[in-house]
A and B are shown apart, each in its own frame.
Chain A
Amino acid sequence: MPKNVRIRKGADIKLVGAAERVKGEAPFASSFAIKPTEFHGLTPKMVVKEGAEVKAGSVIFFDKDNEHVKFTSPVSGEVAEIVRGAKRKILEVRIVPDQEQKFEQFDLSDLSSTEKVKTVLMSSGLWPMLKQRPYDVMANPQLKPKAIFISAFDSAPLGPDYDFILHGEQDSFQKGLEALSKLTDGKVHLTTRGGSAADATFTQAKGVEHNTITGPHPAGNVGIQIHHIDPINKGDIVWTISAQNVALMGKFLITGKVDLKKTIALAGSEVEKPRYLTTWVGASMKSIVEGQIKAGDNRIISGNVLTGDASSADGYLGFFDDVVTIIPEGNEPQFLGWLAPNFHKFSLSRSYFSWLNPGKKYKLNTNMNGEDRAYVVSGQYEAVLPMDVYPVQLIKSIMTNDLDKMENLGIYEVIPEDLALCEYACTSKMNVQSILRGGLDVAKQELG
């Protein structure tokens, strides 16, 4: 049965610089990168060496734990550099693209069975688009999830509008859904925003369960949707994939080419003209932000302001990210900042004056607005987490490394992005997401 969920808890943080609904084209980047660190828990095994010529879709490295899962180049060109960190950990594989793009051609003649779909997705490098819960890791192809969930909208501040991005991509999206439905015996859930009309790409999708969810952010988080539609119990496996990646997957399954051209939102108060841009997975950040960014000390974020990764003009667009956000850094001390009226600051509580003007859009910076403290205030996390989970107790169980408690309190159901608003709201400035990530790693290690 499709579900229509309504949530009340949560919060929409209104920021200046929402992307205008026009599509521009980012220049073709002069450098691309794949970052193994983005795929949590992956140990990469390199296949190519520096200097090797690759095509779009050529294998760059594979997963040491499952050698069938390949990671392929998004473009054709030359492997320019393998950037390594401490203990020779591979951080980035940089590729300088050819002017003329060449594609590996994949054989799609037989996609009748689950195994064949899996094989072609794994060998083409698209498999890692699938994420697995619990623990927010790459989907394990040896497992069969009880369901696959897709959120058709992003409710995060300045999040991309998938209705706009995927407008006219109906065929690819549908093809992607068909492949996904082969991967599970259960349902493929597609959840749109309740109370507003979604694009035909979503509304006319076939073979999926159409759910809606109404309410403030994090309504668009697939984790919240799972919790209300078909929650994860101990032992359950659920896969998730972003809407745009479904379409990319579909496009590949139609053409047989790994063509990872996608649309991203370039947003934030420090962007000259916030709008949508077409670019490629793994493109250099420079190609996206050059000439678009206002003067001053700014932070470039691959992703949204709540969950994204800090990047720079020398960085690269994240594999999963459909938005690049630029906001000012907040590294200036403020005289008696706790006492000042601070009309420019935003708070979910009414301790600042942001309640006076609920429609106002804010230009927020990266300042912590306070120092780390022990937990004092209660009830803040609960107010922004629309789940039957006790977030503070869960976080405390992680801090004390109490595995039984983590399990009992529902660590299976949450991933860091679900608690991002808790982190935003926290008076004690706890780094909730990284604490939770640590807990998920411990739980995965101990509980499997």
Chain B
Amino acid sequence: MQFLRNIFDNLRPNFEEGGKFEKYYKGFEAMETFAFTPGHTSHKGAHIRDAIDLKRTMFLVVIAMVPALLFGMWNTGHQYYLSIGELTGLGEGLIDKLIFGAIRVLPIVVVSYAVGLGIEFAIAIKNNHSVNEGYLVSGMLIPLVLPSEIPLWMVAVATAFAVVIGKEVFGGTGMNILNPALTARAFLFFAYPTKMSGNAVWIPQESGMAGVDGYTGETLLSQAYNAPTGTEFGTLAYDAAGQQYGSLADTMWASFWGWIPGSIGETSVFAILLGAAILIFTGIGSWRIMLSFLVGGLTMSLIFNAWGANSFMSVHPLQQLMMGSFMFGMVFMATDPVSAAQTTMGKWIYGFLAGFLGIMIRVFNPAYPEGIMMAILFMNVMAPLIDHYVVEANINRRLKRAKVAA
């Protein structure tokens, strides 16, 4: 790799003070440190430092999203073939489905990264601060929470909005209040609701092609929402081709593996749990938030079960949690360390409330049968308040101790 090192060393003078491209130093630095972990040594304090840095952290989060991305690509293809009545078996046409999905999904990923990183670099150069690695994760999260049929220009607009309004106006990664990827999704949801919800957005459609008989493209969530009172959703649920799953167990099976319509990366509980395992094992994702989020969602589902005013309330709790964005939100969105609560106690409260409110909004909201995004964004806003009270309690303990001693 010496030749690459030489290239950077030769280019460096141009970007350093007095060089031709002095202004672009931060951009150069980002590229250089990406290629080579710098030989910076400690000057103050601890002489040795942990091997972990933000690049490794973010890279591992991206790795954790890869199962969901790959599955999402396959599922995009699978849903398409299901809707046209070809290769309907799960095992059939693996490569065809993957290629079809990749053609749909990868451009979204590319647009998200290109726009997001472009803005990040531009702002870093303008404000002369280092390019933060945070967007490596956001740039992957954004495609995974969108329907595969989203127009690319919308991805670009939403990404720009998320990076600028969601993050940079607050001072960049580490300073933001809201999760940038969810900001992008919320922006699209309110700006272009017809492209973010309904029955037409989840499954790729090619013009002039009619779906098979019974094809609807409806998500399970929407089916559960629309199920007539008194019926049991689990037994009535059907797939993209209109084929009924037959029993609650079969519906849950399909939801767990994820061959159902939905946002690109959100359908497969299995793929998401693989990601969760990576995040928890490496210590990068907070298991406390995930666990309390799960418990929160479960609690609300059970409360709704007990209430049982309509069939959506009566959905089996596990089925409730395996539909929609719940799992993805739990593993990848709520755990964003910057926008989540930062104290240990705060994480428990934050996670629980986010899961609890997520299911509550999902079931109560008449306009849109998904509430996880709203709940997490709401809890992002509340997280500093939660932390404030947790820290306040620590301060009070200290004051009390001083009084007892005095």
C-alpha spacing A233/B175, complex, angstroms: 32
**B206 within 8 Å of A (CB atoms):** no
Cβ 8 A contact of B283, one of A13, A332, A351, A426: A351
A378 touches B337 (CB 8 A): yes
Query: Judging by beta carbons under 8 Å apart, are A410 and B54 in contact?
Result: no
Contact flags (1/0) for A410-434 with B, using CB distance below 8 Å?
A: 1000001000100111111101111
| Contact, CB under 8 Å: B53 / A424 | no
A255 at the interface (CB under 8 A from B): no
Contact residues, A398-448 vs B (CB, 8 A): 408-410, 416, 420, 423-429, 431-434
In contact, A373 and B59 (Cβ under 8 angstroms): no
CB-CB under 8 A for A431 and B33, given A350-B283, A351-B57: no
Find chain B residues with CB under 8 A from A390 CB.
343, 391, 394
Residue contact B397 to A433, C-beta cutoff 8 Å: no
Spot the interface stretch: B39-47, B157-165, B179-187, B317-325.
Answer: B39-47
B38, A371: Cβ atoms under 8 Å? Answer: yes
Contacting residues, chain A, for B132 (C-beta < 8 A): 373-374, 376
B391 contacts which chain A residues (CB < 8 A)?
390, 393, 409
Contact of A338 among B45, B46, B56, B337 (CB under 8 A): B56
Knowing A370-B37, A382-B344, the reply to whether A420 touches B51 (Cβ < 8 A) is no
- Are A367 and B398 interface neighbours, CB within 8 A? no
Q: Are A369 and B49 in contact (CB under 8 A)?
A: yes
Residues of chain B within 8 A of A330, CB atoms compared: 39, 41
8 A Cβ contacts from A338-371 to B: 338-339, 342, 345-352, 354, 364-371
Q: B51–A339 contact, CB under 8 A? A: no
How close is A242's CB to chain B, nearest CB, in angstroms? Answer: 20
B44 CB contacts on chain A under 8 angstroms: 431, 433-434
Q: Note all chain A residues with C-beta closer than 8 A to B60.
A: 351
A194 within 8 A of B: no
Q: Are B134 and A349 in contact (CB under 8 A)?
A: no
**B342 near A378: Cβ-Cβ < 8 Å:** yes
Contacts of B43 in A (CB 8 A): 310
Q: Is A246 among interface residues, defined by CB-CB distance under 8 A?
A: no
In the complex, are the beta carbons of B36 and A375 less than 8 A apart? Answer: no
Q: Contact between B41 and A374 (Cβ–Cβ < 8 Å)?
A: no
Q: How far is the CA of A103 from the CA of B405 in the complex (A)?
A: 45
Give chain B interface residues in 301-320, CB to chain A under 8 Å.
none
Q: In the docked arrangement, what's the CA distance between A186 and B4, Å?
A: 65
Given A373-B132, A376-B174, A390-B343, A367-B57 contact (CB < 8 Å): no
- The answer to whether B173 has its CB under 8 Å from any CB of chain A is yes
Cβ-neighbour of B51 out of A231, A233, A307, A342 (below 8 A): A342
A299 within 8 Å of B by Cβ? Answer: yes
Q: Does B209 make an interface contact (CB < 8 A)?
A: no
B39 and A370 contacting across the interface, CB-CB below 8 Å = no
Q: How far is the CB of B36 from chain A (nearest CB, A)?
A: 4
CB of B130 within 8 Å of the partner chain = yes
Q: In the complex, are the beta carbons of A366 and B47 less than 8 A apart?
A: yes
Report the separation of the CA atoms of residues A333 and B399 in the bound assembly, to the nearest whole angstrom: 48
Known A-B contacts A233-B402, A390-B343, A408-B395; A310 and B47 likewise in contact (beta carbons under 8 Å): yes
Chain A residue at minimum C-beta to C-beta distance from B172: A374
Query: Which residues does chain A contribute within 8 Å of B402, judged by CB atoms?
Result: 233-235
C-alpha spacing A366/B337, complex, angstroms: 28
Residues in B whose Cβ lies below 8 Å from that of A231: 401
Which of A348, A374, A375 counts the most B-chain CB atoms under 10 A from its CB? Answer: A374
Given A233-B406, A376-B174, A427-B54, A338 and B47 touching (CB < 8 A)?
no
In B324-372, the 8 Å CB interface with A consists of 337-338, 340, 342-344, 347
Give the complex CA separation of A307 and B45 in angstroms. Answer: 6
Contacts of B347 in A (CB 8 A): 379
Residues from chain B with Cβ under 8 Å of A409 in the complex: 391, 394-395
> When the two chains form their complex, are residues A350 and B46 in contact, meaning their CB atoms are under 8 A apart?
no
For the complex formed, measure the closest distance between the CB of A331 and the CB atoms of chain B, giving whole angstroms.
Answer: 4
CB distance from A379 to the nearest CB of B (A): 7
Residue B52 lies at the interface, judged by CB distance under 8 Å to chain A: yes
Chain B contacts for A367, CB-based, 8 A: 37, 39-42, 49
> Is the C-beta of A46 less than 8 angstroms from some C-beta in chain B?
no
**Contact (Cβ within 8 A) B37 A334:** yes
What residues of B have a CB within 8 angstroms of the CB of A157 in the complex?
48
What residue of chain B has the Cβ atom nearest to residue A436's Cβ?
Answer: B45
Residue A392 is within 8 A (CB to CB) of chain B in the complex: yes
CB interface residues, B 381-406, toward A, < 8 Å = 387, 391, 394-395, 397-399, 401-402, 405-406
Residues of A within 8 A of B174 (CB): 373-376, 428
CA distance A379 to B397 in the complex (A): 20
B337 touches A376 (CB 8 A): yes
CA distance A331 to B40 in the complex (A): 6
Residues of chain B within 8 A of A393, CB atoms compared = 343, 387, 391
CB neighbours of B397 from chain A (8 A): 388
Q: Which of B40, B130, B283 interacts with A349 by CB under 8 Å?
A: B283
Within the assembled complex, what's the spacing in Å between the Cα atoms of A366 and B38? 12
What's the least CB distance linking A108 to chain B, in Å? 36
B-contact bits for A197-234, CB 8 A (1 contact / 0 none): 00000000000000000000000000000000001011
Q: Is B286 an interface residue (CB 8 A)?
A: yes
Chain B contacts for A410, CB-based, 8 A: 394, 398
In the complex, A372 has a CB within 8 A of chain B = yes
Instruction: Knowing A354-B51, A365-B48, say if A333 contacts B5 (CB, 8 Å).
Output: yes
Q: Is the CB of B35 closer than 8 A to any CB of chain A?
A: yes
Complex Cα distance A411/B394, Å? 13
B49, B173, B394 — which one has the most chain A CB atoms within 10 A of its CB? B49
CB distance B50 to A301 under 8 Å?
A: no
Which residue on B lies nearest to A350, using beta carbons?
A: B282
Q: How far is the CB of B339 from chain A (nearest CB, A)?
A: 10
Q: Could you write out 23 A-B pairs with CB less than 8 Å apart?
A: A157-B48, A306-B47, A329-B41, A335-B5, A338-B37, A345-B51, A347-B50, A350-B282, A351-B57, A352-B52, A352-B56, A364-B48, A365-B41, A367-B40, A371-B38, A374-B172, A376-B174, A379-B347, A390-B394, A393-B343, A426-B49, A427-B53, A431-B45
Known: A231-B401, A374-B175, A423-B46. 20 other contacts (CB 8 A): A157-B48, A235-B402, A306-B47, A310-B47, A330-B39, A335-B36, A336-B35, A346-B51, A347-B51, A347-B52, A349-B284, A367-B40, A369-B53, A370-B37, A374-B172, A376-B173, A378-B340, A408-B395, A420-B45, A423-B49
Top 9 closest pairs, chain A to chain B, by CB: A370-B53, A337-B37, A374-B174, A338-B55, A345-B51, A233-B402, A433-B45, A378-B342, A333-B36
